Amino acid sequence: MAGKVFFSVSMSLDGFIAPDSPGDLMGQQWMELQQWIFPQRFFRENLKLGEGGEEGRDNDIARETFERTGASVMGKRMFDAGEQMWPEEAPFHTPVFVVTHTERDPWERPGGTTFHFVNDGIESALDRAREAAGDRDVRIAGGGATILEYVNAGLVDEFSIALSPVLFGSGIRLFEGVDAGRVALEQIRAEPSPRVTHVTYAVRER
Ligand SMILES: NC(=O)c1ccc[n+]([C@@H]2O[C@H](COP(=O)([O-])OP(=O)(O)OC[C@H]3O[C@@H](n4cnc5c(N)ncnc54)[C@H](OP(=O)(O)O)[C@@H]3O)[C@@H](O)[C@H]2O)c1
């Protein structure tokens, strides 16, 4: 059976998922946005940040999100930012399809991550990701522009947001330009942890 198409992001309380400039990714707002995940044992292991870390519901959610993902799709700006920051063994361990106008040969990393650069649109990238994922799910990893394209095309089944207690004021707003007349949401789950609130929605056609 084919898996679901989903995304899972951290969002500020005022609706932003990243600062305006990729150069600010190590800045204070970004650190506050992602503060729930950095101490988690699974995250630390996966990014080779060292042993130990917190265990609990936040850690389980990080692990479950990773384990359900058979392939990812991402936009070129997320890839560009990640290329600078991920360790040599990139933290996906599955194929990743980068939607982009840039032509580039596949980039294979140790540990099972291969980045494929897809130049013929979001549907083609998703077809390839579904095939690679088998019966696991496809994660639209980000960023905002790419997630929005998939939402507006009616191609997302479900999404989760870790709602962080931080205000950005400006930046990349997750739902800027959403086709609101088309998308209806059904809440599946809401789980507070001491650090953030995790909310999960199924996406339905209106
Ligand atoms: N808060 C979170 O959990 C989270 C999660 C993921 C990412 N992020 C952040 O999100 C930011 C990036 O998001 P973003 O919205 O700026 O950009 P993005 O969605 O990552 O990338 C957009 C770029 O992808 C390429 N692209 C997208 N759709 C395409 C299409 N149909 N055909 C061809 N190329 C296409 C284009 O680049 P080219 O024209 O150059 O090819 C486009 O400029 C990063 O700062 C990242 O850290 C946050």
pLDDT digits (tens, 9 = 90+) for 121-177: 999 999 999 999 999 999 999 999 999 999 999 999 999 999 999 999 999 999 999
For residue 26 and ligand 1, the question of a CB distance below 6 A is answered with no
Ligand 1 binding pocket includes 155 (Cβ within 6 Å): no
| Residue 26 predicted with pLDDT over 70 | no
pLDDT per residue over 67-110, tens digit each? 999 999 999 999 999 999 899 999 999 999 999 999 999 999 99
Interacting residues of 154 by C-beta distance below 8 A, sequence separation 6+: 182, 205
Mutate to test the pocket of ligand 1, among 77, 119, 175 (most ligand atoms within 8 A of CB): 77
Task: Report the share of the chain in percent with pLDDT over 70.
Answer: 97
Here the tokens at position 142 are: 């980000």
Residues in the chain, overall count:
206
**How many whole angstroms separate alpha carbon 201 and alpha carbon 46?**
26
Q: Is 142 in the pocket of ligand 1 (CB under 6 A)?
A: yes
pLDDT at residue 8 greater than cutoff 80 = yes
Helix axes 144-152, 122-133, angle to 10 degrees: 90
Extract long-range pairs of 110-118: CB within 8 Å, 24+ residues apart: 113/89, 115/79, 115/90
Residue 185: pLDDT above 80? yes
Q: Which of 99, 124, 163 has most ligand 1 atoms within 8 Å of its beta carbon, as the pocket-test mutant?
A: 99
pLDDT at site 23: 67
Cβ atoms 197, 191 nearer than 8 A: yes
Give the model's pLDDT for residue 27: 85
Identify the three-state secondary structure at position 15. coil
Contacts of residue 46, Cβ cutoff 8 Å, sequence gap at least 6: 66, 91
CATH topology of domain 5-205: Dihydrofolate Reductase, subunit A (3.40.430)
138 within 8 A of 69, measured Cβ to Cβ: yes
Quick one: pLDDT band at residue 20, thresholds 50, 70, 90? confident
Give bridge partners of residue 205 from the DSSP assignment. 183
Residue 186's pLDDT is: 97
pLDDT band at 1 (very low <50, low <70, confident <90, very high): low
Alpha helices in 13-160 (DSSP H): 28-33, 41-46, 57-68, 76-85, 122-133, 144-152
Domains of the chain by residue range: 5-205
Task: Look over the chain and give the mean of its residue pLDDT values, rounded to a whole number.
Answer: 95
